[in-house]
Amino acid sequence: MDGDLAMIFVFVIVMVMLVTPFAAIIHRRSAMHEERKLELIARAEEARNGNGGAAYRKLEERVRVLERIATDGNHALAAQIEKLRDLQAIDDQTADRETAQ
């Protein structure tokens, strides 16, 4: 019986030695993934609230308009495209004024 017990003990030790490195690798990758996810969330919040807040809101509004155009029927499509062109013209004019100052 002592030989069987020794074989079981050796088997358990070998299995632990094989599983432990894989568990460490998986843990390290999941920690890196979580860290990257938190960094991206922080950057998104900074963009919304900080330096590029106005630019972020403007871009978000444009995406919403484009989504509405893509999902709406074609009856109002031309009017919405013209509205986007008008917004682009306004943005170009304000950008020219800001660079002139």
Q: What percent of the chain has pLDDT over 90?
A: 36
pLDDT, residue 35, reads 95
CB under 8 Å to 79, separation ≥6 — which residues? none
pTM of the full structure: 0.42
CA–CA gap between residue 60 and residue 3 (Å, rounded): 70
CA–CA gap between residue 93 and residue 87 (Å, rounded): 10
Give the total residue count for the chain. Answer: 101
| Mean pLDDT in residue range 64-91 | 74
CA–CA gap between residue 87 and residue 10 (Å, rounded): 73
What is the residue whose two structure tokens read 């609230």? Answer: 49
SS3 helix, strand, coil % of the chain, rounded to 5?
Answer: 95, 0, 5
Question: In this model, does residue 15 exceed pLDDT 70?
Answer: yes
Query: What digits encode the pLDDT tens for the residues 25-72?
Result: 999 999 999 999 999 998 888 777 766 667 777 888 888 888 877 777
Going by C-alpha positions, the residue among 60, 62, 54 that lies closest to residue 81 is 62
